[in-house]
Structure 1
Amino acid sequence: MRFVRLAADYPVTVFGLTFEKLLIIGVIAVFLLGPERLPHYAAMLGKFVRSVRDFANGAKDRMREEMGPEFDDVDWQKLDPRQYDPRRIIRDALSDADPFAEPATPVVARAAVNENSAYLQRKRKREALGAGDAAPFDSEAT
């Protein structure tokens, strides 16, 4: 069975902070700034967000110009680094099988039982002792 994690399974984070933490920081900032300075800082935040958005759109437009018509054909979901599983990549690289074939059901092999294992030897000795027999004693072990 394969476990697939979707993008929805990952929490939305900005600089390692979740939405709830960002909301708490925002509420604390409102109390610290006060009603006098809040409109000024909100306008500054709005300008910053617009400049970041314009920067991202400019980078996307420049990339589209440099790549040409192939830019729209790129499947960006395939390039998402969260979908890569290093174990699967190594397994696919080392296997001779077709990488696009459906994965076979894994077969779990059972290990052979070692009849001379220490555990089984102790178990046999315990079973060989009768109810009234004394346990074996090794004077050199104590």
Structure 2
Amino acid sequence: MFGLGAGEIAIIVVLAVILWGPDKLPELARKTARLIHFLRQVANNAQVTVRNELGPGFEDFDITDPKGSVRRYVMKQGGLDGVEDLVQTLRDATAEIDEAAADIRRSIDIDGDGVISPEEAKAAGLEVPGAPFDTEAT
């Protein structure tokens, strides 16, 4: 309950009995329960009011995730229901391309040090550009 263990709850109960006394503690518990009930009603009423104000299409509106609810609505209205499937397909294709590129790198890297040297690139038939700077100028 609220991430509290049995020991912490026992300490809270003992402190409550010491602070308010055993005769006032039941009334305090009732008031706390009424407060929690009231706050839940306020939250539920707020969610119902927001759903009613937004109108049709927002029946599944979740007040804890308004951005997701609006996104789902826009996707349905725009006929974009399949976009998530398309995004997943693109992610899968990107993963396959990355895996193929890693396989190519591993096949070129003869000594297995993770770095493709110019000699390894030439052995693989790749064109290696010349020096990036003039060695005589330094």
* Same topology, TM > 0.5: no
Provide the TM-score with structure 1 as the length reference: 0.42
Which structure has more relative contact order (CA 8 Å, sep 6+)? It is 1
Using structure 2 for the length normalisation, give the TM-score.
0.43
Higher helix share: 2
